Structure 1
């Protein structure tokens, strides 16, 4: 029996090979699906953790301590308690102490946090030493500038250190304020008007003996946390630990738990959606195999009839006929399963083991093969039940009965139901339906629509072909008539048309969906990164960062300095390079980026410069006296401080060294502090006129170096001088005389000592997006572009969003904002944006200019992370499944064409002997099923439009429903027609290869 089956297969090799290949594809895809789910869910967890902000990967616990509980070892004990309760060694646990107090200086107090955090010294750049003994503290650069202190100075603090002030051991700058260490601490280190905390040792806080203090502990998961621990395990450990820690007085915030739950839900999306595509593929496989076997059985009808005439048993006939299909299918299933072995994920789905995943692969392949054999058995059923007379006929039987119409009706009803489900899901309110998951029927809607349109179209193919044939005969167009008649009389044509239409529709939907998802990820990555490549850096000041980028790239072709303040929504960029470096979009403020850059940089006066390693200040004390210091900016952006000392008496020259100004310096500001020689009652009321200088008034006439300098006319120009922006202490009175600039500070306690060179516009131009546009419509709007500095601002344009910092944000020019601030400080997040043309050793070149790199990121890397999330992962499988559907449909088409090749050529050969032309015969031979493929292509393209734009909405491009930018168009002509062209090429090749070469007489080629 088996030998007979093999000989039968050998005699009809083409259908057998086609069935084998179709089963290999289907079984291989089915076996690969569980492995794909395991791999993508694991990659999703890793990618989500990599993209998550630090505070989203954190468990934060706080506990209030009274004086009795405050001990030097309280932090270490708390870290042990939290670590033991959570039981997750993969989390990094750090603790700290915080005390609310104030710095006491000049008779006033300024609120400032006193804090300790485990290992803080390793996370700072220090000018001086890290605190190592009780009473020693480190202050940040803004605080040091505010109170005029440096390493070694003393600083009074309440509570506890009013009479015995702190010793400032060092001035610190945080290297990376957005690192895991600092971002998890919740300390006010960036993005707030509050000064950064004073850092010290636990013993100092205990010695302060505060009434209350806060013990803070945070447990941070690294970016690879979920590569080691399943999300549900993380969730369960946190849920169990929180009540235990709550009993010990801790108040908990658990963003990490929410992240773990979100990752698990996204994994469920993959587990939920991939089988949908697999079900579509398997159903398509079985339908294609059913058509192929059923039409291939026509070749065996005469054999079955002869077996019946000889009295062969039904079971034996079934074995012989079904074996010719079942053997290739079984072999194909084994080969497909073997082909999936290299794809083994090596891990399980969720908490399942790798063995379970492997068993699921075997089961999926087995179901595929069993379903294929069952489809073949159903296809062979008609031949077994048919009478011998019908089996011996050369004319194929025509379909009849109510069952076909019932099946078509059910498909149409299911398609309408799926369309409604998909529409209701897509139109739901996200606020109410955030947790609502689409149904299987909604996810199957595109496939159901494709099949429904296919079967409806199939209803018209036969009658339409018959009508075309009749008209062509009357018109004498024999080629068209033969082709149309062939389509009208072949029973396989309607079902084949439906199958090809569905394949084209689903393939076009998959290609366009993949295109949209890919573009969405790339656009989001470009918005969140800003440029091809971004370096996160640390620099002594914003000016140093600007000078470094301009020195490395003088032409402005590939580098741009950037300071971002995400917490307050400000992005400061070097606008001179905005057009060449940034990945610009019209949503950022206009399509003309050069015009946007011009609006951000108004015309400014020339800076006041002086050159020389020694500077001479010509000044006179008109009344009283004052100490004077100048702040200048060197060519490399570094700050140069020159202390001219006490100015008293008449006009005189005060000469001091100025290291760093040999190549020229720009004057930034004067710091003037009066000696307070005149009593308050003797001071004039209101602003003092120039001819009546107030107490401690000083006249500045000139500032010169070894070559050139700033002459009296510049000092006498009132428009070149300003006081600090925003509120604060009483500003120094500024006036001018023909001899120069007169500065009249208030008493030393209340006076703001700084007077700046005014080389900036009256207000900082800003491109505002979102609610910032309304905020800046206020009467006197100010923004905090950098820590501790308020700048008056004016709206220069509107935008939909601002790159990197988001929708409610502002875009400003870095150099203009830096000049208006005048503090020569840094910023929240200092960055260097670069194009792909930037040199590979960029980090080393920046280091030569005192700019250290501590992290990098690229648009490509960010886009790759988004491609590993749930929607793109499921869409990739959908694309592969749709491509396999095209191949399956093409295989069924090939079997049908190959089976009909011999009888069709016999018919045409007879007609050739009766005078039919060779060209007409060839057209009739090849044209019929090419027309079927063409009709299916057009119908598939038309069906893809509603299937993609309306029914394929349940899968968003991002799990978090990110919508900062408008979503890309759902359909682009390029990918749509490219998909159709690929399907057309496959169908045409199959028809031509299956038809074979014809002789000129229309007979079989030899």
Structure 2
């Protein structure tokens, strides 16, 4: 009997091949989904590693080597050599030993120390611009800017002494605590790459705040033997590990993860064993766990997305198998009847009826297993070359389940003819099965409703039945819509016949009377819905990633600037781009926890419009710029040039309750940072107070007068300013604790009380509107924000945006030219420079020439590339692949269905042609029967895709890792849906039309 079955397969090899292909469509996703997930894991991990910050690919162990000059070992000390040996357990990492402590003797001011550092193999990472690098004991190399500032040269001798910081408020300086040692300046260095992983997280070259501003960080490097021989106290010891070539390859990450856990445990044990005090602890610092967590989150997102299209394709493939086997069983009804009439027993009848299909299914299973893995290999090789698909036998674990589903489908399709009486099998009329079909539709609808309800109640958990919810919802809707369309087709056919349109009438009756046609329509609708759903998911996610890349970055390119003053940042940017075409100074302003973030931008007249990536649906940037800056600031320039003189008269201050006066000024030409000028204690009577500030040679803008009291309560009095701006109180603002009035010879400042005002009394020129105008997102309530000096600044909302560039929503935007003059500090800040896409290629060099230090260069295109390698984006590549395969499956079902019914349709139309039906009507009936199915299926399928998206699309994790609060699209665009519908009509309609032409040729 087995030979007979194989003979039957060979005799009907065409339908058997088709059924094998359909079975392969069902099994291939069950293999491809796990294989694709393994590939996605590799792609996501490789992408995260490639985009990781240096701190996320390195680690550091630090401890303090206590002062041992008293003799003997300090109890509880940590043996960093033993601890460092544990680092070797991290495969592929390189390690650097370092020791440092502060010294004085090189700088001219003891408030500033020099970092004396030994770092293993430092000479290989320094460029010596004068002299040589370290060779012998007592050799020293210093930075080129420090050498220029301190007039040092190679060959010079420098005495250095270990120092401690004296934190006494009256001192605040470094004091010597060791014998002097004479050093030989062997060379002058320039660091080749301050951000190189070799330097670890010590911030050797970060700008340092010192009296009078900031300066570049440049340690003095020496040898370990010199450090050991020098008289010194506490020293910081560290062992830094950083990833070498291939250390963070995808295949090494599991072992690295385990080794990192073991290392943390070992360091904790060593730290506990050496705990002789707070300073003796062994500290391990690394951001690698954050990198691993992002990789895990990407993997989790992929595992939530990939099963959704995989299950949808399997369900549609099983439905296609049901149609194919059912069509074959329908065509072989006389054969089944003859077998029954010959007395074959029921098991033999089942085997003869189903064996042909089962052989084809088994062959298709083998092909599907191979095709699933090969398809993934091809996609990964094309889309992510070099990552590798990593084939693994574990990808086969779901193949038996898919095979079982196909086998059950085959047996269910064969059940109808097998259980019918012989008389019904010999009739040409369709077999009754209306109520059974309705029962199946209702059952699927109930199952879909349950899956959707579980998805909603489970908070969008796509695990288990939740992953099948989109497929079940769309399939159930497709079955119900197809069942509803059949009566419409019958009514249209009868109406066409009554009007004499025979070809159209015959087409409508063909579509309504054949049960297989209704099932084909249901499959076509479901296929269009699944394809549209996958396109919607991919398109919504792609637009969301573009929003995050453009609006989330803020501009086409964002340069992060090292510590500098607000004045220098703005001046440098304006000097580089005087035409306001491509650059804008930006300062993110820290806010209180829970408050919306604030972004200060130098809008100018056109800078905001020229540089910022603007949110969709918002007012144009030029209008927002005018709302933020309705009028230019009116600065008050302090007279007196570089020697600032202030004429004051003080009165009514009680003895012992004097106040001091500071001036906060900003050089108008940007030649220096903001400065706080301590004018001193205000003495009774008229007096001139002076302060020499060379940066004010070109004029300085007054930001504020700050009047501070001591520890005494009840301080009050009057200060009259004679030579500073207008005496009109309307031209000034005063903080709580004081009153302003006009005096005959100046401005009268009445200090009413300084109690409860630790920041003192602030008197400022009214150079800007008050409250400050801001532009905010819709949820911001007018009130106050924290300014650059962390004081509360009252604001009024001058405009609304759906989102603020780089911040999203909720957030607030303010003009930097308004916010800066009301700031009452001189602290440096880390700002940004936003650049347009057409910025000059040498813009970094130009900004550096104007005194800015660029610490990071981030382009929106880089962010887009990084997002494309996160879990959600990678997983949606599988959804796109399924969308294509579903269309191919639907086209194959059309060909199969047309081929299975071609002989009977040709006989019917030939008989009608012999009875006088015109050739034109026969042609219309033959050609347009199945294209009409496509015309009905495409709009219905698109509508069901949108309904399925509304019910389940929200659960798909499309936003990637740590998404910022940006207004992302939640619905697919009309254009993408229209294009999808047109493509489906062309592909499926063309396939149906070609199938009809073959039927027409059969008629002759």
Cα distance in 1, alignment partners of residues 649 and 164 from structure 2: 39
Note the C-alpha offset of 1:358.
Answer: 3.6
Within 2, Cα distance between the matches of 1:347 and 1:465?
45
1:392 Cα deviation (Å)? Answer: 6.4
Match of 1:227 among 241, 246, 249: 249
Residues of 2 paired with 1:403 and 1:79: CA distance?
79
1:761 and 2:791 matched: no
User: Which one of 602, 607, 623 corresponds to residue 574 of structure 1?
Assistant: 602
* Residues 25 and 629 of structure 1, relative CA distance in 2, 3 Å threshold: same
Q: By how many angstroms is 1:513 displaced?
A: 1.8
Indicate yes or no: 2:520 matched with 1:496: yes
1:41 Cα deviation after fit: 1.2
CA distance in 2, matches of 1:98, 1:687: 52
Could you tell me whether the CA contact under 8 Å between 2:649 and 2:687 is conserved in 1?
no
C-alpha distance in 1, partners of 2:403/2:816? 66
* CA distance in structure 1 between the aligned counterparts of 2:423 and 2:359, rounded to whole angstroms: 24
For residues 941-992 of structure 1, what are the alpha-carbon distances to aligned partners after superposition, in whole Å with 9 as ceiling and x for unaligned? Answer: 3322331112233223235574623442334433333333332322211110
1:564-963 equivalent positions in 2, closer than 5 A: 564-565=588-589, 569-576=597-604, 577-585=607-615, 591-601=619-629, 603-604=631-632, 633=667, 665-668=698-701, 686-689=717-720, 760-761=767-768, 765=772, 767=774, 777=783, 783-784=787-788, 792=793, 794-797=795-798, 802-805=804-807, 810-821=812-823, 826-828=828-830, 830-958=831-959, 962=963
In structure 2, how many angstroms separate the alpha carbons of the residues matched to 1:934 and 1:847?
63
Question: Deviations along 1:293-348, whole A, 9 cap, x unmatched?
Answer: 43245555667778999999977887667667876886677666655554567999
1:536 aligned to which of 532, 551, 560: 560
- Give, in angstroms, the shift of residue 163 of structure 1: 15
Distance in 1 (CA, whole Å) between partners of 2:551 and 2:383 is 34
Structure 1 residues 390 and 825, CA gap change in structure 2 (3 angstroms): same
Q: Which residue of 2 aligns with 1:432?
A: none
Any idea what SS the aligned residue of 2:588 has? strand
3-state SS of the aligned residue for 2:955?
coil
In the other structure, the counterpart of 2:755 is none
Distance 1:6 1:996, change over 3 A: farther
2:266 corresponds to 1:244: yes
Q: Is the counterpart of residue 523 in structure 1 residue 547 in structure 2? A: yes
Superposed CA deviations along residues 280-299 of structure 1, whole A, max 9, x for unmatched, are: 32332232133124324555
The residue that corresponds to 2:657 in the other structure is: none
RMSD: 6.6
Return the alpha-carbon distance in structure 2 between the equivalents of residues 845 and 579 of structure 1: 22
1:857 match: secondary structure: strand
What's 1:104 paired with? none
Report 1:171-190 matches (<5 A): none
In structure 1, what is the Cα distance between the partners aligned to 2:745 and 2:53? 58
Deviation at 1:930, TM superposition (A): 3.0
Deviation at 1:578, TM superposition (A): 1.0
Tell me how far apart the structure 2 counterparts of residues 114 and 777 of structure 1 sit (CA, whole Å).
46
Q: CA deviation at 1:522?
A: 2.1
How far does residue 46 in structure 1 lie from its aligned partner after superposition? 3.9
Aligned counterparts of 1:398 and 1:858: Cα–Cα separation in 2? 66
Q: Give the 3-state SS of the residue equivalent to 1:285 in structure 2.
A: helix
Whether 1:157 and 2:173 are equivalent positions in the alignment is yes
Shift of the alpha carbon at 1:530? 0.5
Q: Secondary structure at the match of 2:1003?
A: coil
Q: CA deviation at 1:80?
A: 6.4
Indicate how the Cα distance of structure 1 residues 74 and 770 shifts in structure 2: closer, same or farther if over 3 A, else same. farther
Could you tell me whether the CA contact under 8 Å between 1:188 and 1:196 is conserved in 2? Answer: no
Specify the alignment match of 1:285 in structure 2. Answer: 317
1:406-426 deviations in Å (ceiling 9; x for gaps): 543432232121011111133
Aligned equivalents of 2:98 and 2:810: distance in 1? 33
Match of 2:393 in 1: 359
- Give the corresponding residue for 2:574: 550
Q: Residues 925, 764 of structure 1: CA spacing in aligned structure 2 closer, same or farther, 3 A cutoff?
A: same
Q: Does the CA-based 8 Å contact 2:776-2:812 persist in structure 1?
A: yes
- 1:593-616 deviation line (CA, Å, top 9, x unaligned): 3343234335346668899xx979
- 1-structure distance, mates of 2:828, 2:38: 46
Q: Which residue of 2 aligns with 1:1004?
A: 1003
Aligned-partner SS, 2:559: strand
CA distance in 1, matches of 2:434, 2:514: 17
- Of the candidates 450, 471, 493, which is equivalent to residue 417 of structure 1? 450
Partner of 2:774: helix, strand, or coil? strand
- Please report how far the alpha carbon of residue 486 of structure 1 lies from its aligned counterpart in structure 2 after TM superposition: 1.2
Within-5 A mapping of 1:47-196? 47-48=47-48, 78=80, 81=83, 84=86, 87-88=89-90, 128=149, 133-135=160-162, 156-157=172-173
Instruction: Give the whole-Å Cα distance in 1 for the aligned partners of 2:731 and 2:193.
Output: 35
User: Structure 1 stretch 817-826 or stretch 845-854: which is displaced more?
Assistant: 817-826
Q: Aligned equivalents of 1:945 and 1:621: distance in 2?
A: 75
CA distance 1:833–1:672, change in 2 (3 Å): closer
Counterpart for residue 654 of structure 2: none
CA pair 524-223 structure 1, distance change in 2 beyond 3 A: farther
What SS does the corresponding residue of 2:538 show, helix, strand or coil?
Answer: helix
Residue 528 of structure 1, CA deviation: 3.0
How many residues align? The count is 895
Check whether the contact 1:408–1:452 (CA below 8 A) recurs between aligned residues.
Answer: yes
Asked if the contact 1:60/1:217 (under 8 Å) is kept, the reply is yes
- Separation in structure 1 between the aligned mates of residue 780 and residue 339 of structure 2, nearest angstrom: 87
In 2, Cα distance between the equivalents of 1:801 and 1:498? Answer: 43
Aligned-pair CA distance for 1:17: 6.6
Distance 1:636 1:941 in 2: 61
Q: Work out the CA distance in 2 between the residues paired with 1:771 and 1:255.
A: 36
CA distance in structure 2 between the aligned counterparts of 1:318 and 1:970, rounded to whole angstroms: 45
User: How far apart in 1 are the matches of 2:489 and 2:864?
Assistant: 50
SS at match of 2:813: strand
CA-CA distance at 1:492 after TM superposition: 0.6
Give how far 1:892 is off.
0.8
- How big is the shift at 1:263? 3.0
Q: 1:619 to 1:293 in 2, by over 3 A?
A: closer
Distance in 2 of aligned mates of 1:346 and 1:966: 32
- Deviation track 1:337-394 (CA, whole Å, cap 9, x = no partner) reads 655554567999xxxx98973434567779868876885676567678888876666x
Conserved 8 A contact 1:930-1:991: yes
